[in-house]
Amino acid sequence: MQQDRKIRTAFVGDSILYGWAVAPEAACWQVFQALTGFDVVSEGGFNPMALPGGTLPDLVTRTPRLVERYRPDLVFVCAGANHYDGDGTLSWPYGMGEKELFVLYKRLFSDLKGAGVRVVWLGLPPFEACGADQKIPLDLSEKIASFCSHVAGDTRYFIEDMLKDPSWNARGGRFYDNLALDVHPNSAGQVCIAQSCVAWVREAGIL
């Protein structure tokens, strides 16, 4: 990855990386672009690499085509939460087991790696019924990373940065209006995601 040019970056996922429920300029990918100067993939002021309501089958189908079109160097991934209930129960689509879901993660990461992209797995977001410790999504994020270890690339779990904040509680602290009622981060939550990604690029020595 060359450091003498703006690094083409993409945010692949569902509504969270799309920036759902916040002003466009407050979306994590917009904030990341402002903080780093990196060239973040966008189309008409929106993130075409993230699909609100999207599932892993959706992302596995559409992402290779979008990567070919936009040709990112670096991709942050936060996906799969739409398959889980608020307590971390795998519930959709009915009949899909954990291993089958994890195979889809592996395919997504493998396709990205095969395209020459550096991948950063951001983990799963906070789940609304998992209390203040959020152990369930954190453990699931680690299991996914372990299952996909040879293709998943790097990890940076933004949920850990949220948990360190003094405001954090079962309602999501300052990062959610009320996590129990709306799983979409507010503007402060989107900024936290962006700052986590910025911290990763600094630690990786590419900023």
pLDDT tens-digit profile of 65-91?
Answer: 999 999 999 999 999 999 999 999 999
pLDDT tens-digit profile of 129-154?
Answer: 999 999 999 999 999 999 999 998 89
Token pair 């203040």 is found at 132
Q: How far apart are CA 35 and CA 207, in angstroms?
A: 10
Rounded-to-10 torsion of CA 73, 74, 80, 86: -160
Q: How far apart are CA 177 and CA 50, in angstroms?
A: 22
pLDDT tens-digit profile of 164-192?
Answer: 999 999 999 999 999 999 999 999 999 99
Put the strands of the sheet holding 39-40 in their side by side order: 39-40, 8-13, 74-78, 118-121, 154-155
pLDDT band of 94, cuts 50, 70, 90? confident
Domain ranges of the chain: 8-203
**What's the CATH class of domain 8-203?**
alpha beta
pTM: 0.96
Top pLDDT among 6 and 140 is at 140
Task: Please answer whether residues 158 and 189 qualify as being in contact, where contact means their C-beta atoms are separated by less than 8 angstroms.
Answer: no
